[in-house]
Amino acid sequence: MSAPLNAPTPQRSAKRGTLYLIPTHLALPISAEAILPHDVISVALQLNHYIAENAKTARAFLKAIGTKRPLQEISIQELNKHADPRVAGPAQTVEMNALLAPLLAGHDVGLVSEAGAPAVADPGALVVAAAHFLGLRVVPLVGPSALLLGLMASGLNGQKFAFHGYLPQDKAARTKAIQELERESKRANMTQLFIETPYRNQALFDDLLTALIPTTRLCVAANLTGTTEQIRTLSITEWRSRVTELEKSPTLFLFLA
């Protein structure tokens, strides 16, 4: 597949390479082309070096976009997904230097997430920060982001919003967090976004129905861009009147008080 004239073309530089931020599909689509722009696929297919949370997931992505190159010929370095972006220390510096070594040697590198946009609600932000620190060129490419797609489709306030990652697993602590976020949402007219591990979706949903006030609007956006995508926004009163069983699939929760 050749790159269009207006596509950013990865080049090997005598000096330093470019870090390309490459979005991946959120769910298993009918085809990669249905979700990802042609230019993104063109760039991704030309890269020999990748950084990913999980090499297996990255290989699955490369297969999905139709790479013809043997996967064993493509270097995929794994990023420590448990690294804390607030903490910078010798161990983290050593890891970042190793990950960015191909860039310093003049090779272009692709950064991919487990799903969607890299470095957004994703430990890949550590790689991007290190690249900026070293003065490397960073190029974000267009593609799906669950947070933005869910917010777009929710009908909630897209002018002011905040993403909170995962809420506490402990039921009492989770209920307290939900109520605090609701008070903040009401005070600031701000949409609150968060996610959960798929097998805990139902427990979180049930706690939302219990903890939130009847007039708060809740959006449940599941399996975004997938063949079984479901997005629905209702008041808590309306949700309580329905029997809802959530599938164990990637789900984004949003509410606005």
Domain segments of the chain as ranges: 18-140, 146-256
Topology match between the domains 18-140 and 146-256: no
Residues lower than pLDDT 70 in the chain: 1-14, 28-30, 81-93
| Whole-prediction pTM | 0.84
How many alpha carbons lie under 13 Å from residue 153 in its C-beta half-sphere?
Answer: 18
- What confidence tens digit (pLDDT) does each residue in 116-143 have? 999 998 899 999 999 999 999 999 999 9
| pLDDT confidence of residue 8 | 55
DSSP assignment of the chain equals -PPPTTSPPP---SS--EEEE--B-SS--S-GGGTS-HHHHHHHHH-SEEEES-HHHHHHHHHHTT--S-GGGSEEEEP-TT--TT---HHHHHHHHHHHHHHHTT--EEEE-SSBSTTSSSTHHHHHHHHHHTT-EEEE-----HHHHHHHHH-S-SSSEEEEEEPPSSHHHHHHHHHHHHHHHHHHT-EEEEE--GGGHHHHHHHHHHHS-TT-EEEEEESTTSTT-EEEEEEHHHHHTS-----SS-EEEEEE-
Q: Does domain 18-140 have CATH number 3.90.1150.10?
A: no
| pLDDT confidence of residue 130 | 92
Topology of 146-256 in CATH? 3.30.950
| pLDDT confidence of residue 154 | 98
Q: 251, 222 in Cβ contact below 8 A?
A: yes
